[in-house]
Every structure is written in structure tokens, then in C-alpha cells.
Amino acid sequence: MATTYSYSIPRLLVAAPQGRSGKTTITVGLIAAMTAMGLKVQPFKKGPDFIDPSWLTKVAGATCRNLDSYLMDHKAIRHTFIRHAREADVAVVEGAMGLFDGVDLAGSGSAAEIAKIVETPVLLVVDCTRMTRSAAAMVNGFVNFDKGVKIAGVILNKVARARHERMLRTSIAEYCDVPVLGAMPKGTKFSIPDRHLGLIPAGENDELMTAVGEIGQAAAKYLDMAAILKIAREWPALVEEKDIPGAVNINWHMPGQAEDNKQPTIGVVRDRSFSFYYPENLEALVEAGARLVDISAIANQRLPKIDGLYIGGGFPEVLAADLEANNSFRQHLKDQIEKGLPVYAECGGLMYLGRRIHWEDKSFEMVGALPIEVEMLKKPQGHGYMHLEVLEGTPYFPAGKIVKGHEFHNSRVSSLEQGNCEFAFKVLRGHGINGEYDGLRYKNVVAVYNHIHAVSEPDWAKKFIEMARSWQPHN
């Protein structure tokens, strides 16, 4: 018989009527202001994003977790939220797109759905550009659209001047039963720089943290932090009918440490080029028995002694010149792949394992393990959730299984010479490599545009470790 546990978790979800309303800026500001107050903040991001979580992680000093109702069932989302938020002073969830925007008419996969699952009050960020009294009509529309979602307060964003703010506040006070909890002034200094796939990842440039400091100071000045925290703290407790285990402790292996020959070592390429990893994927590898070691494709001259390699997504095109310059690392990786090193590569990792990346009239040599060339374009070539059918001979998953995931890339495979290289998946939803197939497999390499999440694909890590153990005696 299951035991019911109750958790008093102060919590908020930051959402907006539409994308580009300033959700991330406001969320970063709130977290920065809260941490400056000495609070322990646990950040979450709705959806499969990697870039926004990198900022939220850096600002909060705690690993941001993704909550995605397309890749995770409701029980897993609630479990993930409680597991990681129960020790925090406050949990802050950043929404995505518009509050009620999902994958279907019912709003499946929306930020509103997440708010219902974790029973969280919503702060609605309204872009007030060229708008006064109409803001009240918009707020009322969101308040009354779904009674299962509680709009606890409104944050006015991009407010032009004092008169503009007075008009907005007066209109909402007159027509809406929702408090205004702050007004952020219009100004580019409150914006985080972005590029073709969204914001610039937090780890790419430490100087960008200056912008975070300014946003945090602005939040403390212009937002009613006391009222916001009061809402978060007074929300009812969350209950769950099971015990919640502690989080997995990832111990990264350092050179010089004693080696356990029975425990496979998985290298994870994590540097300014490759930073897109779900923390659950890394934790799943540890739970399956792996020791993890950080590797840089820019700084390391060779691979350390490893039994498998995980290359995540990122922006290899931005630092393509640096990747190309590290010829010794590229050559050593190619040699190890030829010897059978198990490698799992996602998106940016796929691009890196090819022969060349073409971007802005320049070409850069990559690893050359896969017979492909990749071209960068200005528009997304694949963007959204994916359904893939596993093809015969593909490791990690049984043939015929349907694998869910997400893709977001401006690159396309412009040249493919299959030879001994085979496709790994048939695309049922999404684009992948060519709209029909995704993923290439060569020897013990699987490289794919699709990003999987270990919560929805728990057997992936176990199979990766099995492959690493099988190759380990020959390493």
C-alpha cells in the first residue's frame, strides 16, 4: 500500500501570452534577486530546451531541470519536481511560448499543463509595448480561459515611462481581480543576447553574466519581491503517493584517480562547443554503473582512457575554427572510432563527427568518422518533437521501437556517402537527416539529430554501459 507524502514547496511558474515577451529575462531576474536575498532557488524549464536552462542553472547555482509533458508522463513530471525542489527555499519554473500553447487543441504539452501537474501559481509576464487599457482585456482572457490554471499576479514588461505604467496599473486594477506585482522598464540593457537557435548559452561567455547582474538588480528594484514570495510560500502543499529517493550524485573522474577496471568510464564532451545535455541523461549513465569524465574537444590533445563517449549538442559551427585547429584530438577520436569505441552523438555531435562544416562561406575540417558534410543555413531545418522507428541493427533500442525526442537545428546534411554507414531510425514525425531517416550508425557509433531524454527512454543508458563493458576488454 502506497504511503502519501506531503511537501510544502514554495513555487511559481513564469509564463506569458506569447513567446518573445520577456519570460527568460524576468525569470533570470527573479532568481538573481532571490539568490541575492540568500534564498536557495531550484529552477525548472518547461519543454526540451537546453539554452534557457544553462542560464537558470548559472544564476541559481543549482542544476535546472526540464519538465516536458510530451517526453515525460504526468507522474514523472510531478516526481521530478518534488525530488529536486523539496529542499529548496523556492522553486521557479520558466514556461515556453504562450501559457496555453501546446501540441494540440487541448493544449497538451503547454506551460499551463505543467502548472496543473505541479499545482503551481502563474506569474503572467505581459509585453506592454504600444498597449495600455488593452492589457486588462488580455489579462482577463488568460485568467478566465482555464479555471484549472491560477494566474496569481501580473508582471508588466517593457514599460515605456511613468505615465504608461500608471495607465496599465489603473486599467488592470479597475477591470481585473489580479494584482500587478511589478513593472520592468523598457531598455536593451535588460536583454540577454541571442543567436539563431535562441539565447547564447550561459557557459559560452562569462562576460554575459554582467547582464544577469543588471537584470537581478532591476528585478529587486522594480518587482514586488515580498508579494511574489508570499504567493509562492502560501500555496498548498504537494502530495505524492511514494517515497522520493535522493538525487544521484555525479562524481566526475579526474586524471590521477585510482581506476576501477570493472567500472566503465564514459567520456562526456563538455566545452563551449558542446553543452546541450539533460542532467537526467548523465545521471542515468551513473545509475547504470558508469564513471563520467569531462573532455574538451578544444583543449584536450587526445582522448583519455575511456570505454565510451557521449557528444551532446551545442554550437560547433561557432567555434568550428577552434575545433578544426585541434587536429590531434580529431585524429585520435577517429582512430578510436575505427577501433570500435562506442560513441553516442546528438545534433552538434553528429555535425562534429562528419567531414566538414560549411558556414558563412567558410569550410572547417571535422573528425571525418562519418561520410557526411554539413551546411549551416539561416532557417531551422528541423524544429520540434520527433517520433522515430528504430531500424534493424541499431544499438541502444530494439528494432521497431518508437523513440520520442526533440530536434532543433539550422544545419542540414548536404552530402552523404553511405558506404558502410547505415541509417539508424525511420522518421515518423520530424525531419532528422533528410525528412525520411535520422541517425547514422558506423561501427559502434550512433549519431543522430534527435535529442532523447533518459526519463522517457530509461534503457538507453543501460545499453550504452553494456556496449562500453563489451568494448572495455579490447581497450
Q: Which residues are catalytic?
A: 347
Take residue 349 and report the three cell numbers written for it.
Answer: 555531435
| 333 alpha-carbon distance from chain centroid | 27
CA distance 92 to 12: 5
pLDDT digits (tens, 9 = 90+) for 278-306: 999 999 999 999 999 999 999 999 999 99
pLDDT digits (tens, 9 = 90+) for 309-362: 999 999 999 999 999 999 999 999 999 999 999 999 999 999 999 999 999 899
Domain ranges in the chain with CATH number 3.40.50.880: 265-474
The dihedral over CA atoms of 307, 202, 279, 326, expressed in degrees to the nearest 10, equals -10
Please compute the mean of the pLDDT values over residues 31-58 and round it to a whole number: 94
pLDDT at 258: 46
pLDDT at 273: 94
CATH topology of domain 9-240: Rossmann fold (3.40.50)
Average per-residue pLDDT for the chain: 91
Please compute the mean of the pLDDT values over residues 412-435 and round it to a whole number: 93
What long-range pairs does 66-70 form, CB within 8 A, spacing at least 24?
66/278, 66/280, 66/453, 67/93, 67/114, 67/117, 67/118, 68/109, 68/453, 69/108, 69/109, 69/113, 69/114, 69/117, 70/103, 70/108, 70/109, 70/385, 70/404
H/E element, 301: none
pLDDT digits (tens, 9 = 90+) for 200-245: 565 555 556 777 788 899 999 999 999 999 999 999 999 987 655 5
Please compute the mean of the pLDDT values over residues 54-74 and round it to a whole number: 94
The dihedral over CA atoms of 405, 406, 409, 412, expressed in degrees to the nearest 10, equals 40
pLDDT digits (tens, 9 = 90+) for 66-100: 999 999 999 999 999 999 999 999 999 999 999 99
| 428 alpha-carbon distance from chain centroid | 23
CA distance 95 to 33: 19
Q: How far is CA 320 from CA 122, 277, 315, 374, 375, in A?
A: 41, 20, 9, 12, 12
pLDDT at 68: 95
pLDDT digits (tens, 9 = 90+) for 363-408: 999 999 999 999 999 999 999 999 999 999 999 999 999 999 999 9
SS3 361: coil
pLDDT at 52: 87
* % the chain with pLDDT above 70: 90
pLDDT digits (tens, 9 = 90+) for 111-131: 999 999 999 999 999 999 999
Please compute the mean of the pLDDT values over residues 183-187 and round it to a whole number: 90
Tell me how many degrees the CA angle 12-81-284 measures, rounded to the nearest 5: 145
Place of cell 568510464: 265
CATH architecture, range 265-474: 3-Layer(aba) Sandwich (3.40)
Domain ranges in the chain with CATH number 3.40.50.300: 9-240
β 362-365/411-416 pair status: unpaired
pLDDT at 196: 43
pLDDT at 197: 39
Q: Which of 18-27, 77-86, 414-423, 433-442 has the lowest mean pLDDT?
A: 414-423
pLDDT at 198: 47
